[in-house]
Structure 1
């Protein structure tokens, strides 16, 4: 995954939280609903990330648009 320059601490926190939630489902075998609740992330967004329908670029916009 390409590294993006995130602008705020909130964006960094949101991205790291989602990555941790994805890891919990894939590597630790947690259920998607319990993971979403435990990590405080949107269940549908977590499902999209797990199924490759939602990427970092899609959620933060392309670099050309931002800068």
Structure 2
């Protein structure tokens, strides 16, 4: 996600970007993304997936540097 002029850009369906204006929408997108490995059956909990930033949200160091404010 990229911050641009007070809004956030997230990748939408079919590779199009969409502007999301609220924290609730961004949180919903993050939760959906974190849940994908669980739905696919790779892990039982989102934070168990090594390549997921859900690890950082759970207080576990992940592979990607994530800054949570």
Scaled to the shorter chain, the TM-score interval is: 0.3 to 0.5
The structure with the largest helix share of the pair is 1
Structure showing greater Rg: 2
TM-score, normalization: structure 1?
A: 0.35
TM-score, normalization: structure 2?
A: 0.34
Relative contact order higher in (CA < 8 Å, ≥ 6 apart): 1
